[in-house]
A and B are shown apart, each in its own frame.
Chain A
């Protein structure tokens, strides 16, 4: 168990700067998820924590001690790779015991620890198999078993579920969470899937282009995204954005007026982006709310996603009614006032943040 401090970390690959100053303070026992689009530097950061990648600038500390120059093997960190990286010529039990053998743990204890880890992950019946004789999900569990068997200070996960099918992914998601609750070990988990981040994290770190956009609890990110990027990245379907000019009490967007609650009053004439999530955009009768023209309705069961246009801007509204509007039909859309987000069109920063 350990805290991890990432301070002003930068990474250059030759002339290319892939991490541009990153700070994260991870508390002991926390489950942190790094999320962001592919190529934003998540794996690089994770590998720097592991010691597999050199630090160009800044410091990484574990339990208060700077580890920049510490070899991976001396950091007491376990990592689960996307490809699982199981040793192909070793049986499951030997894969799991490898780290203990490398540390010279005596045989009876190795046996005991492997049995304990296998019990936790329900791997008992697979111990004598080789990795090639396992399914994708089983390999995933073995990779986890290998990580937990030696009780490291920190777990690192690099997109561990992305090679599994959707159903298994959901199962493993909660299983990893349960495992974390049971072991209480500090964990840093990388994914590009915002839903995975939201469902698993104590705190989510949203990264973009080598920088941190926002760090916060899942619901904080959802309720108060600090900029356009986070607002668009968290939540599915994504938040609707409508560009316009702030006026007193509303936003002027092309032909329509988007009502603003008093709390979001800002100087008139300021170019802004009006943001509202599909689930906070109610479908009302034509003539009420903001006029919109229906493009298509996509029922998913509990909700139907209505894709429509406000002026030329495409929007999506989540609708729970059963009488679906037809394509081409005019409807009204009504944003929940206290769920409206407002961003500066230039800086893309959230406008109510000074409140």
Chain B
């Protein structure tokens, strides 16, 4: 049911972990829906230098988290804000229909982290 790319990112997730003293942190989801994604950012000169994630969730949740970190690194904050959940799913060659809503929140988590960075006044 999952594409090869999803299985690749699920079994070898990129950028797992936390960043010490991150510039921004974003979290979406909750335990009741079964998915929680947390994104940590390092920003320099308006460019995302590093992203790490921690995720509680199904295969799609872990794969989209991993993919969004790859897509975001090196982007400006403006570019990163334009990344959508749909674009993340597309980069994984698609997700099963049932997963498009519940487990496809990685871009939202990234946007939350950027918002947190901006609000913390840096």
Partners in one complex: no
